[in-house]
Structure 1
């Protein structure tokens, strides 16, 4: 088992972002308190933040009046959904256009934070109530209802037409990395048990200074079938697909958020064609199923919300953006 070295980040003193705060308030506060690397303020940011001052009562963490950011975390054995221990229930990562979070429990889905400001906001999120980020705020809000799916670009294993999440894992270890040009969340799952297989899985989720995408890299310890990613399915939102020479994408676009009944969200997953067995429909997800391997599996995912500053406002513009990215991938094999 890995030793835990807890390092507090420079954002510890940030105050919660109240809904009444203005855009300028948020931008000014984040700039003044920004984490610096090599003397420069970060343009990307990742964090994981845990409650302190309370105690565990069964599966719940009770008491405590503040959170502290940690660089590394061995997830407690009794942690589950709604344990009230990890701020917004898992690690988060962002740049100035979009934010994401991962439920660091059995659900293991990836969610989207839609942003109405062009600055880093995660230090404010969830400071003023466990699920306050579901409500509209000056910075934006949680906009995706993942439900029983993997969310956007999450990962699981397809077993008998059902996606197995992470209900049976011996140990889960998360680590945060912030550098001058990117921010990453590293997660090691030890003893992930699905169906008749048991493996370790190393995951790296990286966001860069420019654009909305996250690069996901999965490294299984054993070449088992069914490792998959995907996009949450919504009624009346059709799947968009396009193949290139080396890469392909699946995407959705439409009114598929928690924010309003009229705002638009685009979601996409880019994958390397020769790494994939099939693209198929699951119960809760549009699925991309990877070939068995112990090599690194790399893919990209993104969310584009029409309420972002200078955001993509319609489906045609969204598809044009995806097609440009697909062309770059087929030429360079990289978006970053």
Structure 2
């Protein structure tokens, strides 16, 4: 299955298959198809049929169409109205994320109140309607000048260099029975005196609330970093696994756009021999050692309005400890 598939088409597929196969009970065939409906989903949706407004970086008119892959147009930037919810998205039945596919390159959270797939409908009733509370949930994280949760950039000692200078950006979406992923190839990403290509592969799995992120630069340089957006009065939590091979940084508290008492937990798991945790101006940072090897980390969040979700800081910490033990024992979360 790929990102062009409309989720509601499974019943139709079942009916067609039933007519083509004699001596098959139609009800049994529908049930068979329903059992293999996707448990993960990733997509990117761009406008077709419109045009770039002369003298601006805005795309006018047209309608959104899902594509399997694309090269980001040179004119595209934040609020160009060209990419639905401004970048690719990932989801499973518990959570959803998106990445701003522009200079910001931050990852945001779509908090979900339902246990069904919702991304195909997000932002279809108005470009930024997802900021408003809806039956499915809403955008809950204010990234500001940060990398959101698990976005990536280069820490230069006093600030994070985002993706202001990139020659080309290519994105590809993959959906399979076991996971969904988005691969982004950045060509000629320039920060200060360093120019590199960077491949980013971010995946989501059928269960739990995390994303797996894999970053592979073409040259070795200092400062490749990820992080969690800082909020006033929300303390940082840190923990290292029993073997010392894995660690996490995390925050928990009132740090969403959804209400005064709304609680959100965020965490990043990383390998201690590949990275270290430090403080940046807008993010709690994890900074990787210079290398051309693939850097793997995990992004995790838990919203207290999630259906059947984590409702307290104590429960959030317990969940993080379980994941830390799994990383110690298996070297991965999947």
Q: TM-score, normalised by structure 2?
A: 0.90
1:199-218 correspondence to structure 2 within 5 Å: 199-218=196-215
Cα 1:39–1:323 change in 2 (3 A) is closer
Task: Report if aligned partners of 2:247, 2:269 keep a CA contact under 8 Å in 1.
Answer: yes
1:195 to 192, 202, 211: 192
Q: Which residue of 2 aligns with 1:331?
A: 329
CA gap of 1:162–1:212, structure 2 versus 1, over 3 A, is: same
Whole-angstrom distance in 2 between the partners of 1:326 and 1:32: 40
In the alignment, which residue of structure 1 is the partner of 2:18? Answer: none
Match of 1:41 among 37, 40, 50: 37
For residue 257 of structure 1, what is the aligned residue in structure 2?
256
Equivalence for 1:147: 144
Runs of 4+ with >6 A deviation: 36-39
Q: In the alignment, what sits opposite 1:271?
A: 270
Alpha-carbon distance in structure 2 between the residues aligned to 1:182 and 1:224: 31
Decide which structure has the larger Cα Rg and report it.
2
What is the distance in 2 between the residues matched to 1:188 and 1:37?
A: 35
The reply to whether residue 52 of structure 1 matches residue 48 of structure 2 is: yes
TM-score when normalising by structure 1 = 0.90
Q: Is the 8 A contact 1:30 1:120 kept in 2?
A: no
How many equivalent residue pairs?
A: 312
Cα deviations by residue, 1:174-197 (Å, 9 ceiling, x for unpaired)? 000000010000000000000110
The Cα shift of 1:32 comes to 5.1
Which secondary structure state, in structure 2, belongs to the residue aligned with residue 41 of structure 1? coil
Partner Cα separation in structure 2 for residue 284 and residue 335 of structure 1: 28
Distance 1:33 1:247, change over 3 A: farther
Cα shift readout 1:29-77 (whole Å, capped 9, x = no counterpart): 697589x99982110000000112210013000112x210000010000
**Map of 1:114 onto structure 2:** 111
Among 298, 304, 308, the residue aligned to 2:296: 298
Distance in 2, Cα, partners of 1:329 & 1:10: 34
Deviations 1:268-312 (A, max 9, x none): 000000001x31110100001000000110000111000001110
CA contact (8 A) 1:237 1:252 kept: yes
**Deviation, structure 1 residue 263:** 1.0
Q: Partner of 1:21 in structure 2?
A: none
Q: Helix, strand or coil for the counterpart of 1:157?
A: strand
Higher strand share: 1
What whole-Å deviation, never above 9, does each CA across 1:176-229 have from its counterpart, x for those lacking one?
Answer: 000001000000000000011000000000000010000000000001000001
- Tell me, which stretches of 5 or more residues in structure 1 are unaligned? 1-6, 15-28
In the other structure, the counterpart of 2:174 is 177
Decide which moves more: 118-127 or 36-45.
Answer: 36-45
Q: Which secondary structure state, in structure 2, belongs to the residue aligned with residue 323 of structure 1?
A: helix
Structure 2 CA distance for aligned equivalents of residues 86 and 99 of structure 1: 17
Gaps of 5+ in 2: 14-31
- Per-residue CA deviation, residues 80-104 of structure 1 (Å, 9 max, x unaligned), is 0000000000000100000000000
Say which SS state the counterpart of residue 40 (structure 1) adopts. Answer: coil
The 2-side partners of 1:322 and 1:173 are apart by 33
1:284 match: 282
Q: CA RMSD in A?
A: 2.0
Partner of 1:309: 307
Looking at structure 1, the residues matched to 147 and 100 of structure 2 have their Cα atoms a distance apart, in angstroms, of 10
